[in-house]
Structure 1
Amino acid sequence: MSGILDSVDQRTKLVGENRLELLMFKLGTRHVFAINVFKVKEVINVPHMNEMPGSHSHLHGVTIYRGTSIPIIDLRDAIKLKPSQDVDPTKGNVIITEYNRSVQGFLIAEVLSIANTSWKDIQPPPSSIGKANYLTAITQMELNGKNEIVEIIDVEKVLAEIVEYDTSISEEVLEQSLAEHINGQTILVVDDSPTARKQIKDTLEQLGINIIECSDGLQALNLLRSWADEGMDVLETILMMFTDAEMPEMDGYRLTSEVRADPRISDLFIALNTSLSGSFNEAMVEKVGCNAFISKFQPDGLVTVVQQRMREKLQS
């Protein structure tokens, strides 16, 4: 596995082109799962682990990775796949990832390959599978001469069930002079993860903000354009937009570029709210023209950006 991610630094150019690369793997069943390569730091063999008394049932153990202790999550168990007698937990691989400013490993059965694809070929999971599923999207790939359905895992939901998120806002962050102006404002939240959307909603509703949700970039763009087509002043309809980076059909970078290219909505305040690495996103934010960047999940950061936008609007 040492060479599978050797060229990860060369992959950043794909994001600005509405493209991504998926690391595909199995969990001991015929199903093929995937996560975005940009979230992956390394793929390793199953390391020595220690069980931690009283830890969450999804945690397989703790190991030392590059001098730091990190949790190893049994991904099969976390997404509620039935146990298999054929899976040996001491074999297989661990995918080391970085999400929401933390590093963790996911225990899997085997890595298959990396595939380059387009966000427009990534589709939301069917609504008929219910809200309890652990997928943000699905796609189709050719593997070993066969077309396979690839299921993209909602890692943010997995992590939120292990470490409960806190939506409380620090008192020192709140500016009372802005509170009455913020109350009643509407914000558009664009994210393919229902968990991520709920985190933002639970945070900002404390300020009296109304939330409109979209689950992908194309849906959000179509909504904004429909408002403009109807003659609505989009900048008065919504205060701003929070968008994720990775989403089916259209990612947050392309969404931002499309908004900036439409003179009717080009001045919309856009904040990128993503679990992807900060240094990379700071460059992408400047390239596509976002107004702000926040690493998930930071309630105080969300509020700070909302107040920044409100202050700018009052001064304009």
Structure 2
Amino acid sequence: MAGVMDSVNQRTQLVGQNRLELLLFRLAGNQLYGINVFKVKEVLQCPKLTLMPKLNPVVRGVAHIRGGTLPILDLNKATGGPGLSNLDNTFVIITEYNTKVQGFLVRSVERIVNMNWSEIHPPPRGTGREHYLTAVTRVDDQMVEIIDVEKVLAEVVPVNEHLSQGLVDEQTQAEAVSRKVLIVDDSSVARKQVKRCLEEVGVEVVALNDGRQALDWLKALADSGEDVSSHLLMMVSDIEMPEMDGYTLTAEIRNDSRLNGLHVMLHTSLSGVFNQAMVKKVGADDFLAKFKPDELAGRVVARLHALRGEAGA
């Protein structure tokens, strides 16, 4: 397994080229699943798990790894199946999402594949509202399903989606009513979280599912004669998305003279210092790790205040 993961830390050159690498794994059956390598810290044989009282049934126990204690989530159970059996023959994928580290219990880990985000597609129509897929792709003529991990985590460890009292004053809310924010995220749960947060600030929200859809929408807006940077207060975009990632979306916006004045904030569960460098490389204005409602709202309020200052000047 070390051979599979020995070059994970050398993957950053893919970022900004609309490329990603998927770690392929299986759960109870033969279906292949994938997870972005940038989310993966380590893969190991399932260690001894300690049962704890009052844990969510999806959490099979906690493991003591590298001096820390991590919850281990059974991905098969989390997505509606039975819990994996015979844990001695299973693996744990240690991941970092939204600045939190946890392990995902899987049956087997296959290999890493290098792909373009344009090869990653939204789930087929008719999948239903309660599915756990955020995207699908094909590898060697096999369907690969990419699980909406943010949905899984939100169900196991719900996050507070509401703003602290007094964070947004009446004047700011009054200013926000006339403003519109574009949010772009392939996770239905993440879109709802961000939408609720921004609506508490008072802004109108347009929510789209991926970078390609967002770029087409922005270009259509510009084609209609709208001044995009005046029409939108800002864009809040995820980074990992099918069709086109957030880095590529930002670069495309900066390369279009009709769009390049748009204030862009990248909002992602990806962790790592490389994000700050990539924000500068593609020309984004800001970066924020998910999901911190007060901090997200604070960035929107700061943008409103900045425009208030420009108007006053």
1:206 to partner: Cα distance: 1.1
Q: Equivalent residue for 1:7?
A: 7
Q: Equivalent residue for 1:53?
A: 53
Q: Equivalent residue for 1:103?
A: 101
Q: Equivalent residue for 2:32?
A: 32
Q: Equivalent residue for 1:135?
A: 133
Aligned amino acid, residue 274 of structure 1? T
1:227 to partner: Cα distance: 0.5
Length, aligned pairs only: 310
Q: Distance in 2 between matches of 1:274 and 1:90?
A: 34
Q: Equivalent residue for 1:91?
A: 89
Q: Distance in 1 between matches of 2:198 and 2:119?
A: 32
% of aligned pairs identical? 47
Q: Distance in 2 between matches of 1:60 and 1:298?
A: 27
Query: Do the aligned residues in 1 keep the contact of 2:161 with 2:293 (CA within 8 Å)?
Result: yes
Q: Alignment partner for residue 295 of structure 2, among 262, 284, 301?
A: 301
Q: Distance in 1 between matches of 2:161 and 2:129?
A: 21
Q: Distance in 1 between matches of 2:144 and 2:225?
A: 41
Query: Do the aligned residues in 1 keep the contact of 2:74 with 2:83 (CA within 8 Å)?
Result: no
Aligned amino acid, residue 72 of structure 1? I
Query: Do the aligned residues in 1 keep the contact of 2:16 with 2:247 (CA within 8 Å)?
Result: yes
1:315 to partner: Cα distance: 2.5
Q: Equivalent residue for 2:111?
A: 113
Gaps of 5+ in 2: none
Q: Alignment partner for residue 259 of structure 1, among 253, 259, 262?
A: 253
1:3 to partner: Cα distance: 2.3
Aligned amino acid, residue 303 of structure 2? R
Q: Distance in 2 between matches of 1:289 and 1:308?
A: 19
Q: Equivalent residue for 2:180?
A: 186
Query: Do the aligned residues in 2 keep the contact of 1:278 with 1:295 (CA within 8 Å)?
Result: no
1:232 corresponds to 2:223? no
Q: Distance in 1 between matches of 2:162 and 2:244?
A: 31
Query: Do the aligned residues in 1 keep the contact of 2:24 with 2:32 (CA within 8 Å)?
Result: yes
Q: Distance in 2 between matches of 1:9 and 1:63?
A: 23
Describe the superposition over 1:171-205 as per-residue Cα deviations: whole angstroms up to 9, x where unpaired: 46435543321134211110000000011011111
Gaps of 5+ in 1: none
1:285 to partner: Cα distance: 0.5
- Between stretches 112-121 and 63-72, larger displacement belongs to 63-72
- Between stretches 98-107 and 236-245, larger displacement belongs to 236-245
- Between stretches 16-25 and 279-288, larger displacement belongs to 279-288
